[in-house]
Amino acid sequence: MLKHIVMWKLKDEAEGADRATNAREMKRRLDACADIVPGQLTFEVVLAQEGLEATYDVVLYSEFTDRAALQAYIEHPVHKAVVPFIGAIREGRQCMDYEV
């Protein structure tokens, strides 16, 4: 099994909206990527929650059966459609993939 974790820090303002609005829109768009390919086991998008420690604004936690399933997700048109929006609103990104 392969785990794919991505964390984004968003710009204060981008695409005509503030950080909180963009975070909600990003989550909405990423949620549409759940279950788009065979081998996608877990897909969870969460936003930083007030009152809890967070150094990033949006986190994606996902699990795939193998590298081929993750690659299929990355190349899927639904996922590719989200990438330009995220690129426009993000200040920083961290990612880690690992096998268990």
- Per-residue pLDDT, 91: 98
Q: Which two tokens stand for residue 72?
A: 């299929």
Q: Average of pLDDT values for 85-100?
A: 98
Q: Which two tokens stand for residue 1?
A: 């099994």
Residue 64 binned pLDDT confidence (cut-offs 50, 70, 90): very high
pTM of the entire structure? 0.94
| Domains annotated on the chain, with CATH | 2-99 (3.30.70.100)
- Per-residue pLDDT, 39: 98
- Per-residue pLDDT, 28: 98
- Per-residue pLDDT, 66: 98
CB atoms within 10 A of CB 72: 17
Residues 97 and 92: their CA atoms lie apart, in Å, by: 17
Sign of CA dihedral 49, 30, 65, 2: negative
Q: Please give the share of the chain, as a percent, with pLDDT higher than 90.
A: 100
CB atoms within 10 A of CB 69: 20
Residues 100 and 98: their CA atoms lie apart, in Å, by: 7
The torsion angles phi and psi of 72, rounded to 5 degrees, stand at: -65, -40
